[in-house]
Amino acid sequence: MNPILIACSHGTSSLEGRAAISALVDRVRAMLPEVRVDEAFVDVQEPEIDAVVAAVPAGAASVVVPVLLSTGFHTRVDIARAVAAAPGPCVATAALGPNPLLAELLAERLHAAGLDAATDAVVLAAAGSSDPAAAVDVAAMAELLAARLGRPVTTGFAAGAGTRIAEAVSAAREAGAKRVFAASYVLAPGHFAGVIAAGGADVVTPPLAPEDAVAAVIVERYRAAAR
Confidence band for 47, pLDDT divided at 50, 70 and 90: very high
Confidence band for 194, pLDDT divided at 50, 70 and 90: very high
pLDDT at 73: 83
**40 & 125 share domain:** no
pLDDT at 163: 95
- Mapped onto helix, strand or coil, the DSSP state of residue 49 is helix
CB 106 within 8 A of CB 204: no
pLDDT at 93: 98
**141 & 180 share domain:** yes
- Given a cut of 90, whether residue 170 has pLDDT beyond it is yes
Comparing C-alpha atoms, which of 181, 95, 103 is closest to residue 131?
A: 95
- Given a cut of 90, whether residue 161 has pLDDT beyond it is no
- Given a cut of 90, whether residue 217 has pLDDT beyond it is yes
**125 & 184 share domain:** yes
**172 & 79 share domain:** no
Confidence band for 160, pLDDT divided at 50, 70 and 90: confident
**107 & 187 share domain:** yes
pLDDT at 223: 98
**78 & 90 share domain:** yes
**126 & 61 share domain:** no
Residue 131, domain extent: 100-204
**73 & 124 share domain:** no
35-60 average pLDDT score:
96
194-211 average pLDDT score:
98
**176 & 109 share domain:** yes
The pLDDT tens digits of the residues spanning 61-113 come to: 999 999 999 998 888 899 999 999 999 999 999 999 999 999 999 999 999 99
**163 & 110 share domain:** yes
**124 & 93 share domain:** no
204-213 average pLDDT score:
98
**114 & 165 share domain:** yes
Q: Which residues pair with 199 in a beta bridge?
A: none
Q: Which residues pair with 92 in a beta bridge?
A: 64
143-164 average pLDDT score:
96
Domain count, the chain: 2
**Cα–Cα distance, 41 to 64 (Å, whole number):** 11
Question: Per the confidence metrics, is the pTM higher than 0.85?
Answer: yes
Q: H/E element holding 65? A: strand 62-67
What is the domain-level CATH number for residue 31? 3.40.50.1400
18-41 average pLDDT score:
98
